[in-house]
Chains A and B, each alone.
Chain A
């Protein structure tokens, strides 16, 4: 049986301050749910910078190599055609396509990675603690994973930071 402590706030400032305090008191944060990207919440929660930037570079680099080698192979190896006496390997003329393919690969690859890592896919029905998260509520969900959930402590911190409401929810596995 998993246990969740769910506190609801009505603004980002209370949520951020409460988050800092939950963490200071060694309460395990499962996740926070917000209607928009709250700046500073990632730091408050101690989230590391996303590694998607590195993936983006890798995808872009793949596109770069593919376009460079591909154009060379097509124009100079597989079927060389004399066009206005230009050299088989017209590298400067290949740059625009190299650039476009790099951007295309980097963009699509990054978005695809985001969907995979965040487990987003068409038609998925999300498990929501409250549907008002996509409207005007800010949720903080604490879990008892790896330890005991100190409800009393969580409650007092929530009250201190003007939580609208809080509740304990169980989920059988």
Chain B
């Protein structure tokens, strides 16, 4: 009896396992479906999104030109709050990028096959988000045309080298390495699919472009063999890299002696917050892409389900970090530290603190319920909320810790200027413009990887 029950259970497990790709696809159907997006005329919804994104980008462009010409005085900063909006946006965008690498590298190492439909676009998201992030410190330099001074190279200014003891110098290395490795990882992953496009297009110009980009890929199994090795190595390199990047970003704060920043919990706190916000952004983008490009068979409910579960986990870590910060402020017995945290919750920026806390604490809890996880409209709205909540987290950490100085006569308030808001809008414009162009002109789903998991269920069910 018991044995029979066990057997039934095993059968059930096999039938419960959902296919990673919906519909009964053949190999060439996958090619058609994914590349069809590039071959069809864009939908009205795409144009609608693109025009909005382009408008936002234009707004940002005007704001950037104005502040570079006029100077950083156009911002709402003052002597006390010397870091505010731009660094908030910087940390926000870097954080967004982290989910892409998590999906492409960490889930690859854990052999999570469901990542195949979303890894390509998540990686693209990473690259665009890091580009958006890079804009802010560049502008903050005041003279962005001297940005290369942040790199160590022999020069006639001394030679004046960069200070390697400064976390800001570490940041330069971390962010640029992250951008380069992510871009390479993304491009290497795309080569076989670019070859598929090359062999499919008839337009001479397109053929030339894709022939150029696909590097002469011919599908040789010897090349595939090496390619797989390199892909695994890059995933192995990108995994500690992504953890290091937000750790180093958190060092920008943690190595200072400002109450509210000076804590050892910052690295794990920032990394989990980054994954939390990044997954929310991946969800936002994937739900849009899925709907507008009709890719429901590829980006399935299972993907959404899995991503919401990651959000529950990382949201929990973030909430734990909030609690830890408060506990440590009390436990440290340090009056300045205690003041900062009471001031965060009850001071002039309490509104921002409570927006952050209520969103980041409560919103992920909705995902415990399967009914809500399966309702894509609700998931979409909740993902937007998390994006907002995590933006406020950075704002709260940065501004509330600064606006009350050690010296009460230096206390000040901060309000972003219209130029700063314009720049933030512009960064969203850049992000969405690039993303919409990407899903239009490049294979946004990894065709090769999807094909390799097409029989995934079958191979586990004992059928070949």
Contacts and interface: CB of A to CB of B under 8 A. Distances in A.
B191 interface: yes
Contact of A111 (B152, B163, B188, B198): B188
Interface in A1-45: 13, 31-39, 41-42, 45
A93 B163 CA distance: 10
B150 to A, nearest CB: 12
B163 A83 contact: yes
A106 B237 contact: yes
A140 to B, nearest CB: 9
Nearest to B162: A74
Contact of A96 (B173, B195, B238): B173
A34 B163 contact: no
Contacts of B165: 75, 83-84, 86, 90, 93
A164 interface: no
B217 A120 contact: yes
Given A97-B164, A114-B230, A50 B199 contact: no
Given A56-B233, A106-B237, A123 B161 contact: no
B72 to A, nearest CB: 24
B240 A103 contact: yes
Q: B177, B184, B195, B223: which has the most chain A beta carbons within 10 Å?
A: B177
Contacts of A69: none
Count class of interface residues, chain B:
35 or more
Interface in A55-109: 56, 60, 70-71, 74-75, 78-79, 81, 83-84, 86, 90, 93-94, 96-97, 99-101, 103-104, 106-108
A20 to B, nearest CB: 14
Interface in A105-128: 106-108, 110-111, 114-115, 117-128
Interface stretch (B24-32, B84-92, B322-330): B24-32
A103 B223 contact: no
A76 B451 CA distance: 54
Interface of B is mostly: helix
B227 interface: yes
A93 B229 CA distance: 33
A39 B228 CA distance: 10
A52 B230 CA distance: 7
Nearest to B200: A135
A133 interface: yes
Contacts of A106: 233, 237
Nearest to A118: B223
A94 B159 CA distance: 19
Nearest to A39: B452
A50 B181 contact: no
B179 to A, nearest CB: 10
A171 B333 CA distance: 83
A117 B227 CA distance: 11
Contacts of B233: 52-53, 56, 106-107, 110
Given A42-B221, A96-B248, A119-B216, A136 B211 contact: no
Interface in B147-173: 152, 158-161, 163-165, 167, 169-170, 173
B18 interface: no
B31 A33 contact: no
B28 A136 contact: yes
Contact of A35 (B27, B169, B222): B27
A125 to B, nearest CB: 6
A101 B237 CA distance: 11
Contacts of B241: 100, 103
19 contacts: A33-B221, A35-B451, A36-B448, A50-B230, A79-B159, A81-B163, A96-B248, A97-B169, A97-B173, A100-B174, A100-B177, A104-B177, A110-B233, A110-B234, A120-B215, A134-B198, A134-B219, A135-B27, A136-B26
Which 10 pairs between the two chains have the least Cβ-Cβ distance?
A: A124-B216, A136-B27, A126-B218, A120-B215, A32-B221, A50-B229, A131-B199, A96-B170, A100-B173, A134-B196
Given A83-B165, A134-B192, 19 more contacts: A35-B27, A35-B448, A36-B448, A37-B448, A41-B225, A56-B237, A75-B164, A75-B165, A79-B158, A83-B163, A96-B251, A100-B241, A103-B237, A107-B237, A108-B181, A131-B199, A135-B28, A136-B26, A136-B28
